Amino acid sequence: MQKWFKLVSILLLSLMMVVACSNNKGTDQGSGKEETKPAAESQEKVELTISAAASLKDAMDVIQHTYQEDHPNVTLDFNFGASGSLQQQISQGAPVDLFFSAAEDKFDLLVEEGLIAKEDGVDLLGNSLVLVVPKGDQSIKGFEELATAGFDKISIGTPETVPAGKYAKESFEKMGIWKDVEPKVVYAKDVRQVLSYVETGNVGAGIVYKTDALTSDQVEIVATAKPDTHTPIIYPVGIIKDSKHYEAAKEFYDYLLSDAALKVFEEYGFTTK
């Protein structure tokens, strides 16, 4: 009897050891799978916030759609507005991952503040400044005529926060017509508001980027400002240093520099470096 009991005990012990080894093997295999974290992390849901100049909206809408199709785990949230206002928001701590400015000086302020590393930014696009009037309006054909035109309202972006407004004022000053034009000026929060004022006939003319004018079938471009009348129009883009999703932000930043993205920008009237 004792021998029989001893034999059963040995068999039970052996069975327990086999089960234990199987469990350990399964655990090890599970650990091995966990170690392939890069693939798992690449599928982790990420939400990126991009503060971008209002004039970039149409091109960025296309890029957003294409990028999210190829990167279903990434959601791109855009905050469009005047570059100066966006820069101030970031300086004050707004949670942003990338900044796409319509002016170098606004971008450079963030670099100087240490919020964007120099190596994480690049001058990517260029643009032109144009004079637009409501469709079918033949009352003026050039910037100089704004000083003597019959209408009493001209719109530009607020120069302190809207780069296009700053460039417009510089051009007026260079042409020697700012003193005559200034009393007629209606300031807008960004170029899209300027465009809207012209489209609705609330003003007789407006100064916007060429890319904005091309998006509307309700306005006409009557003149383009000569490049030497204003600061070069350059669009820098960069990654915010304290981004909580730096790697994902870097991947989207690299995509903006790709031929595919640059082609979209060119289709919307931007020049590329």
Same domain, 212 and 191: yes
Would you say residue 49 has pLDDT above 50? yes
Same domain, 242 and 220: no
Residue 26 covered by a domain:
no
Same domain, 111 and 138: no
**What backbone torsions phi and psi does residue 245 show, to the nearest 5 degrees?**
-130, 55
Same domain, 162 and 213: yes
Give the residue numbers of the binding site for molybdate: 55, 83, 164, 191, 209
Per-residue model confidence as pLDDT tens digits over 215-259 = 999 999 999 999 999 999 999 999 999 999 999 999 999 999 999
Average pLDDT, the chain: 87
Domain count for the chain: 2
273 pLDDT band, cuts 50/70/90, is confident
Same domain, 211 and 259: no
Residue 7 covered by a domain:
no
131 pLDDT band, cuts 50/70/90, is very high
Distance CA 192, CA 50 (A): 18
Same domain, 242 and 221: no
Same domain, 238 and 107: yes
Sheet holding 74-81, edge to edge: 74-81, 46-53, 98-100, 234-240, 116-126, 271-272
Reading the block at residue 159, the tokens are 């120069």
Domain with residue 140: its CATH number is: 3.40.190.10
Same domain, 151 and 84: no
Distance CA 257, CA 51 (A): 17
**pLDDT attached to residue 98:** 98
Beta-bridge partners for 74: 46
Would you say residue 124 has pLDDT above 90? yes
Same domain, 199 and 136: yes
Per-residue model confidence as pLDDT tens digits over 178-227 = 999 999 999 999 999 999 999 999 999 999 999 999 999 999 999 999 99
**pLDDT attached to residue 251:** 97
Distance CA 256, CA 104 (A): 17
Give the residue numbers of the binding site: 55, 83, 164, 191, 209
Same domain, 117 and 135: no
Residue 15 covered by a domain:
no
Residue 100 covered by a domain:
yes
Domain residues for the domain of 64 are 44-126+234-272
Mean of pLDDT values over 118-136: 96
**pLDDT attached to residue 14:** 53
Smallest CA-to-CA distance from 52 within 255, 237, 194 is with 237
pTM for the whole structure: 0.79
Residue 168 covered by a domain:
yes
Residue 175 covered by a domain:
yes
**pLDDT attached to residue 42:** 52
Residue 217 covered by a domain:
yes
Mapped onto helix, strand or coil, the DSSP state of residue 168 is helix
Same domain, 53 and 177: no
Same domain, 183 and 260: no
Residue 27 covered by a domain:
no
Contact 191, 245 (CB under 8 A): no
Distance CA 194, CA 211 (A): 13
